[in-house]
Structure 1
Amino acid sequence: MSLLKELILQMFFALTPFVLFNIYYRDRMRNYSRCFILVTSSVCMFLAMTFASSVNEGIIFDIRHVIVFFALIYGGVRIALIVLIESALYRFYLGGEGTWVAMLVMAATFAISLLIYQRYKASYRKTLFTLLTGALFSLIDLGLTYFNFPTYVSHQLPYHVLVIPVQNFVGIWLLMSLFSKCVSDKELFIRHAQNEKIETMSHVAASLAHEVRNPLTAVKGFLRLIQEDPGNIAKTDQYIRISMDEIQRTEAILTEYLALSKPLKERTELIDVCEQLHVVREVMLPFANMNNVELELQAYEKPVTIMANPDEFKQVLVNFIKNAIEACAETAKGKVSLSLFIEKNNALLVIKDNGIGMDEGQIRRLGTIYFSTKTSGTGLGLTYSYHVIHTFGGSVSVSSKPKVGTKFTITFPYHQPQ
């Protein structure tokens, strides 16, 4: 029973990188780094060797070879070497009569890992290579231990024939398969989220291009009037002033659009939600006009400040407002209203539309990956937005009725400006 507990404990340690990945990268728009692989591998290796299984003092067995192989595949040769050196030093510190055999086993398994490394990366049959690696690790462990301690292995044959292969086979299969699945899912999510953002920006860009023509046409008309009557100083000054206002307004909208389309940076600062709402409304107004939807803003009288990433917050606003406008596109007198107020130390942003609405089943699935109420949508826009809101300590509530409309209430912790 004691050996069974130790075996289960080793399997748990094998899952440590997988668990930490899901905790640390859950709400991040990026995948694992080599630093993450180094830290998690070191932690996992230390725990596995500290609580290793053993039936004889000084001779211990654990999943350190699995961890080194994992570090090699996902971190590269340099990271794997660091983890290997750490495990060798710690094994030397633990001591016992099996120390030098353990060093020999680690050298042999690392050499095998290097031989399999390139083939594993290039192969589509990764499960086969994973199980082959587990088998080789078990044979090396058993063979070298028997060569140096034949009597010990003979007396504990069931342990070496069953426990060690299970540790290596199941440990390497669990860690490599689950971590690989998480990494591929994260890559797919990031790729789709980026594509969703590009699609949103392209729609807004098309409406902006249409809208920018209006002030340019006005400026062109005023320049012709000045050309026809250059002697009228008063009229010329008036036309130039109007033209400059139109150009500045267009420039401001284009500047904010370009800021929205830039790659996001990981930073958090105190931002004014009222200011952000006005900026995004100006950017989204052409898109609303193109879809014959009224875009109304009822901002709070005083600054409403929250802790957030301004770029990510703008993108969240764009996603919600774009969805609301599209929901009203087929509605007569479509209207999207944005309102902001403070309630119980929270900043509440309400986005309401009179569009097609949703039923209870659709509401429950909102924010889940790949669910969308649009026939051509992926749902990644709202999934990304929900993640961002939760990262900033906020929450989202939805109320909707089919053919009546939808109301999103986004709640953020209010931070009093200093």
Structure 2
Amino acid sequence: MLYIKDVLLQLLFALTPFVLYNIYYRDKTANYSKRFINFTCMICLFMSMTFHSSVQNGIIFDIRYVIMFFGMVYGGMTTGLLLLVEFVLYRVLIGGQGLFSAMIILVITFNLSILLAILYRRRSEYRNLITFLAGLSFSFIPICVMLVTERKYIVENLTFNILVMPVQNSLGIWLLISLFNKAVSDKQLFQKYLQNEKVETIAHVAASLAHEVRNPLTAVMGFLKLIRNDSLSKEKTHYYIDICVEEMKRTEVILSEYLSIAKPSIPIYEQMDLVPQLNSVIDVITPYANMNNVALEVHNEGHELYISANPNEIKQLLINFIKNAIEACSYISRGKVIIRMAPESQLYAKITIHDNGVGMSSEQLERLGTIYFSTKSKGTGVGLTFSYQLIRSMNGAVNVRSTLGKGTEFIISLPLTN
């Protein structure tokens, strides 16, 4: 039973680098450093030699060879030399009958560790075999040397040397190398995941930016085409120019918001009436509807519908839904989008956007509002994702009914303010 306790204690020391690695680098994006390997190996070597296994005073056994091999594999020759100096100084300080034998064993195992560590790093396909050979060698080299230098000790403590030593070194080196290598591999996968996530985030931002900027530019393009018409009155032309200027200002605001992503600010909410916002959006989106041969029909019962929101976000939300409805009707004859706005139970503002376009299947309805899902061949799904998230953040709700070939109806409910 005493032997088992000693072996378990030494195995605990052998796993110290693995445990400390998982504690220290758990929340860090960086992987291990040579300084970390040096520090943990020196601590581990000191602890294992301090609480060593022994059945005869002066002759001690620990997992020094395991730690030395591990240090050379992950820290290189510098780590090996530091451990060598530490072991020699501490072993001389401990002294005892086995000091001479320990130095002979150290010379053999140190040079063998250098060779095996080089092979381990260069021949990745044979790493399991090299680890096995290292454990086997570090188990039997001490016994062979002790048979020559301390034969009486070996004979008198045959059970300890044949059973305890091989288990302690072989199992220790296999556990430490295998577990630490697995932890390092997992960390590398995590780093790769973070890198891919950064690229994916940039792609999302780029797609979102393109989507947000495209809306005002489309409106400006429509109005500029109308301005080329010589039959327009001067007042009408000036009115269209004012709308173009307003949309370009909105584009500038959108770009400024994306440039400030690195330092996000708290959204500014204010009490606003939805009706003027809808009318402004209709003025902007009408040329786009005309370009797609889609009729817009607006019904407003004349109520004032005050909500707490960011005007720019609400405008973008309405544009996203109405623009999608227009595009759903662009491939059919007599396409029409009907927009209704009215109070609902005095608690919510109800916005209904109905189109007679292509409609959606039940599978498409389930995925609606998911990033990168779009029913359009060139769509990104960013617009509706933004809109859904904005509605939820305002404690609102959105419901959709759709039938393939017959059209779609979105019902948006936003809480009213007193």
Normalised by the size of structure 1, how large is the TM-score? Answer: 0.59
RMSD of aligned residue pairs (Cα, Å): 4.5
Distance 1:220 1:45 in 2: 74
Alpha carbons of structure 1 residues 328 and 201: separation in structure 2 relative to 1, 3 Å: closer
Deviation at 1:176, TM superposition (A): 0.6
Which residue of 2 is the match for residue 255 of structure 1?
Answer: 259
Distance 2:174 2:128 in 1: 7
* 1:81-129 deviations in Å (ceiling 9; x for gaps): 2222222222222222222322332232121011112221223132211
1:172 aligns with 2:164: no
Which residue of 2 is the match for residue 86 of structure 1?
Answer: 86
Which residue of 1 is the match for residue 102 of structure 2?
Answer: 102
Alpha carbons of structure 1 residues 224 and 89: separation in structure 2 relative to 1, 3 Å: farther
Which residue of 2 is the match for residue 373 of structure 1?
Answer: none
Q: Residue 45 of structure 2 contacts residue 64 of structure 2 at CA under 8 Å; is this kept in 1?
A: yes
Distance 2:268 2:17 in 1: 39
Which residue of 1 is the match for residue 56 of structure 2?
Answer: 56
Question: Larger deviation: 78-87 or 59-68?
Answer: 78-87
Distance 1:51 1:220 in 2: 81
Alpha carbons of structure 1 residues 208 and 328: separation in structure 2 relative to 1, 3 Å: closer
Partner SS, residue 388 of structure 2: strand
Quick one: which amino acid aligns to residue 205 of structure 1? A
1:274 aligns with 2:327: no
Partner SS, residue 20 of structure 2: helix
Quick one: which amino acid aligns to residue 63 of structure 2? I
User: Which of 342, 367, 388 is the matching residue for 1:335?
Assistant: 388
Alpha carbons of structure 1 residues 65 and 338: separation in structure 2 relative to 1, 3 Å: farther
Alpha carbons of structure 1 residues 355 and 163: separation in structure 2 relative to 1, 3 Å: farther
* 1:344-403 deviations in Å (ceiling 9; x for gaps): xxxxxxx998699xxxxxxxxxxxxxxxxxxxxxxxxxxxxxxxxxxxxxxxxxxxxxxx
Quick one: which amino acid aligns to residue 140 of structure 1? I
Alpha carbons of structure 1 residues 203 and 244: separation in structure 2 relative to 1, 3 Å: closer
Distance 2:15 2:157 in 1: 28
Quick one: which amino acid aligns to residue 45 of structure 1? L
Q: Residue 328 of structure 1 contacts residue 335 of structure 1 at CA under 8 Å; is this kept in 2?
A: no
Partner SS, residue 196 of structure 2: helix
The count of corresponding residues between Structure 1 and Structure 2 is: 299
Q: Residue 368 of structure 2 contacts residue 374 of structure 2 at CA under 8 Å; is this kept in 1?
A: no
Distance 1:355 1:100 in 2: 84
Quick one: which amino acid aligns to residue 23 of structure 1? I
Alpha carbons of structure 1 residues 325 and 104: separation in structure 2 relative to 1, 3 Å: farther
Partner SS, residue 192 of structure 2: helix
Deviation at 1:59, TM superposition (A): 1.0
Instruction: Note the 1:160-309 alignment, pairs <5 A.
Output: 160-214=161-215, 245-246=249-250, 248-256=252-260, 259=262, 274=266, 289=320
Distance 2:368 2:105 in 1: 62
Distance 2:104 2:124 in 1: 29
In structure 2, the gaps of 5 or more residues are 227-237, 270-308, 326-366, 376-383, 401-418
Deviation at 1:135, TM superposition (A): 1.1
Q: Residue 139 of structure 2 contacts residue 165 of structure 2 at CA under 8 Å; is this kept in 1?
A: yes
Partner SS, residue 60 of structure 1: strand
Alpha carbons of structure 1 residues 223 and 79: separation in structure 2 relative to 1, 3 Å: farther
Deviation at 1:148, TM superposition (A): 1.8
Deviation at 1:214, TM superposition (A): 4.6
Deviation at 1:166, TM superposition (A): 1.0
Partner SS, residue 60 of structure 2: strand
Which residue of 1 is the match for residue 232 of structure 2?
Answer: none
* 1:303-333 deviations in Å (ceiling 9; x for gaps): xxxxxxxxxxxxxxxxxxxx99517968999
Distance 2:167 2:71 in 1: 20
Alpha carbons of structure 1 residues 173 and 114: separation in structure 2 relative to 1, 3 Å: same
Distance 1:328 1:150 in 2: 74
Which residue of 2 is the match for residue 326 of structure 1?
Answer: 370
1:7 aligns with 2:60: no
Partner SS, residue 274 of structure 1: coil
Percentage identity across aligned positions? 43
In structure 1, the gaps of 5 or more residues are 226-233, 260-270, 294-322, 341-350, 357-418
Quick one: which amino acid aligns to residue 193 of structure 2? H
Quick one: which amino acid aligns to residue 42 of structure 1? M
Distance 2:149 2:31 in 1: 44
1:18 aligns with 2:18: yes
Which residue of 2 is the match for residue 360 of structure 1?
Answer: none
Deviation at 1:28, TM superposition (A): 2.3
Normalised by the size of structure 2, how large is the TM-score? Answer: 0.59
Quick one: which amino acid aligns to residue 335 of structure 1? Y
Alpha carbons of structure 1 residues 246 and 276: separation in structure 2 relative to 1, 3 Å: closer
Deviation at 1:20, TM superposition (A): 1.8
